[in-house]
Amino acid sequence: MQSADPQTHVRGKDAVVRVPDARIALSTASVYPESTATAFELAARLGYDGVEVMVGADPLSQDVDALRRLSDYHQLPIVSIHAPTLLITQRVWGTDPWGKLDRSAEAAKELGASVVVVHPPFRWQRDYARDFVAGVAKRQKETGISFAVENMFPWKAAGQGLQAYLPGWDPRDFDYAEVTLDLSHTATAGVDAYDMAYDLGDRLTHIHLADGSGSNKDEHLVPGRGNQRCAEVLELLARRGFTGSIVLEINTRRAASRSEREADLVEALAFARLSFAAPVVPSYAVTADGTIEAVGPGVTS
């Protein structure tokens, strides 16, 4: 989802930055162990542009009518639905993986969300994995909902990598029309997030913004606290005119208090807003008298 005409802002005498029209949203997973309702309340109060609903054990996350009421009450759009395809949600919305995706797309349509975030199949879901790429493409075409397949990572046991996902954890290797880039997962995989974002090009339409240190654990740190090139990825997206959603999906479960959790959410949002901008280098022209002048947006005389 690219914008041909991103917003242009003039800052200083000649400086110009472009900030595309993308929403910065909060994943409901970011407030765990607090509730889905808490995520909406905090997102609205702290200045987020929307919410991604992680469908999980919280009954409210599974209730379309209740989610609509929360969205209306807080005047906050639901930008995406994260399908219940995690290990801990194997029985949420049934056990049939295709049924989970279909129900997620129905929820997205009813709630005005444009994206369903999908994890690739686990290695033991061989029948599901066999037709996964084609099945995702078929559902996207039939529903008009974007099925953005998320990058994952190898599991490690006794120091050895384990192929936990089929057809694979790296979406660059498969013909997905749309992809979600998760920067905590790139850290766990030992992959450069900027390189993956660059390689995916226009197929990258959804972001899970977080950070990681390269640990075997999927850390979901506040961006800026790990080793991923979070700011550079956001600047790359701004240069492209990205207009998808940038969703903060961070882990605050160790927060000792509500105020500590809020501080992490505020810091994450501030990082995203400050980093999602790209400088515009003015072009130059030679005038009739031979002098060189800067021309283009934001250039002042």
Q: For 218-243, write each residue's pLDDT tens digit.
A: 999 999 999 999 999 999 999 999 99
d(CA 257, CA 164): 35
Residue 12 pLDDT exceeds 50: no
Cα 204 from Cα 178, distance rounded (Å): 6
- 211 neighbors 226 (Cβ within 8 angstroms): yes
For 19-279, which CATH class?
Answer: alpha beta
Is the pTM above the cut of 0.85? yes
Q: Is residue 298 scored above 50 in pLDDT? A: no
**Contacts of residue 235, Cβ cutoff 8 Å, sequence gap at least 6:** 275, 276, 277, 278
Residue from 66, 29, 262, 61 nearest 150 by CA: 29
pLDDT above 70 covers what percent of the chain?
Answer: 86
Output the pLDDT for position 160: 62
**pLDDT surpasses 70 at 288:** no
pLDDT surpassing 80 at residue 122: yes
Residue 61, pLDDT above cutoff 90: yes
Count of all residues that appear for the chain in the document: 301
- Residues 128-171: pLDDT tens digits? 999 999 999 999 999 999 999 999 999 876 556 678 999 999 99
Q: By C-alpha distance, which of 167, 150, 153, 151 is closest to 216?
A: 153
185-225 pLDDT, tens digit per residue, is 999 999 999 999 999 999 999 999 999 999 889 999 999 99
User: 244 near 284, Cβ under 8 Å?
Assistant: no
pLDDT at 113: 98
